Amino acid sequence: MSNKQINSKNINFSNTNILLQKFSQAIQNFNKMNIEEIEPTIKNINKYVFDGDFNIVIDELVNLIFNELNKGEDTNVIKQQVLDYINNQMINLKQIYIWLLNNQNNSNSICLLGYFNYHGIETELNELKAMELYQNAAELENRLAQLNLVNEHLYGQSSNKNYNLAFELSKKLAEEEYASAMNNLGFCYDTGIGTYFNGEKAFKFYQKAAELGNLKGMVNLGCCYYEGIGTDTNEEKAFELYQKAADLGSIDGIISLGWCYNKGIGTEVNKQKVFEFYQKAANLGSDIAQCDLASMYEIGDGIMKDIDQAIYWYKKSAEQGNLFSKNKLKKFEIKLNK
């Protein structure tokens, strides 16, 4: 199956491919996956499922992930959508994972296997292997793989980041009018990653991303209005953008809206709304919101003080790697052991 939606335009990625090759050298010591050493084979797959069906499923999954990332959806939300889609197709994860291992003959299959490795779906979480697979698919002009590479180098935890690659790929994808690439390019200019700081360009690309419906672009544009980056300071406009993103389901927008009500940014201080928005974002899985909600319970900020609830939410947040929450739990343990 061709990658019609993901590889829809043939533009020159020669410069970007040079950067990809340089990145490949940086991980050349990594032992490449040997498909033949994997015990499960295609024979394990339900006999009623045909290769053509799996090709369709793979293409649709890749398009689903790309479209949601391009919209600026939260990665955990997207992962759940992927799992729900597979379940709705009455295909178990082991079946699709085995099929991917045995069918690495097109960029969508390569990219999706990388996604499984990155998120630990039906295999151990292996970000290095995922990055190698993303890189291989990106060199085949797979847009999802290219976007995943950008996101990892801009926002990921890896110590081996390539900011030049992230910037160049963002520029190329932005030329194709992809909203997420517009937001990423704005972020590069906003932070000086892979380029120089330019507030006006950051504002411009965030605005384009927001106009194309990208949720993160809306939130980042709101930050520009709040901080006066590339535009005049306008707290009311910032609040409106956070509200719009939140109404569309953005977790970042919900948290930002709670922060506005907490600090009186573009609106009146309202602790009840702060609690409501932090609780909503916390229930959606945000470690930041879980931490903020725990803090409200700990000190009784606008709500009744409840140490048990504080510890509960700090634990939820810490489980996702939130350092502040981890430190808070250590302090609670010290107090309890005295």
Q: How far apart are CA 42 and CA 36, in angstroms?
A: 12
Residue 88 inside a domain? The answer is: yes
Residue 281 inside a domain? The answer is: no
pLDDT class for 54, splitting at 50, 70, 90? confident
Provide, rounded to the nearest whole percent, the portion of the chain with pLDDT above 70.
Answer: 84
Q: How far apart are CA 260 and CA 111, in angstroms?
A: 39
How much is the mean pLDDT over the chain?
Answer: 87
Between 93 and 2, name the one with better pLDDT: 93
Report pLDDT for 6: 52
Mean pLDDT on 30-56: 50
Residue 114 inside a domain? The answer is: yes
Which residue type sits at 192?
A: G
Mean pLDDT on 111-126: 96
Residue 257 inside a domain? The answer is: no
Mean pLDDT on 280-308: 94
How many C-beta atoms surround the C-beta of residue 98 within 10 A? 20
Residue 307 inside a domain? The answer is: no
Task: Assess whether pLDDT exceeds 60 at residue 27.
Answer: no
Provide, rounded to the nearest whole percent, the portion of the chain with pLDDT above 90.
Answer: 78
Residue 79 inside a domain? The answer is: yes
Between 251 and 332, name the one with better pLDDT: 251
Q: How far apart are CA 323 and CA 306, in angstroms?
A: 21
Helix, strand, or coil here: 31? coil
pLDDT class for 43, splitting at 50, 70, 90? very low
Task: Assess whether pLDDT exceeds 80 at residue 187.
Answer: yes
CA distance to 120, 277, 278, 280, 287, per residue, from 283 (Å): 22, 10, 9, 5, 10
Domain count, the chain: 1
Q: How far apart are CA 138 and CA 143, in angstroms?
A: 7
Between 194 and 34, name the one with better pLDDT: 194
What are the tokens at 48? 């009623």
CATH number for 79: 1.25.40
Q: How far apart are CA 288 and CA 282, in angstroms?
A: 8
Residue 149 inside a domain? The answer is: yes
Biggest alpha carbon–alpha carbon distance for the chain: 66
Task: Assess whether pLDDT exceeds 90 at residue 143.
Answer: yes
Report pLDDT for 332: 87
Report pLDDT for 336: 75
Between 36 and 70, name the one with better pLDDT: 70
Q: Provide DSSP, 269-329.
A: --HHHHHHHHHHHHHTT-HHHHHHHHHHHHHTSSS---HHHHHHHHHHHHTTT-HHHHHHH
> What do you get for the CA distance between the two ends of the chain, in Å?
64
Q: How far apart are CA 110 and CA 148, in angstroms?
A: 13
Residue 55 inside a domain? The answer is: yes
Between 261 and 14, name the one with better pLDDT: 261
Domain that holds residue 97: 51-161
Lowest mean pLDDT among 32-36, 54-58, 93-97: 32-36
How far out from the chain centre does Cα 306 lie?
A: 32
Report pLDDT for 241: 98
How large is the angle between the packed helices 143-155 and 107-119, nearest 10 degrees?
30
What is this structure's pTM?
0.83
Q: How far apart are CA 288 and CA 229, in angstroms?
A: 24
Q: Provide DSSP, 219-257.
A: HHHHHHHHHTSSS---HHHHHHHHHHHHHTT-HHHHHHH
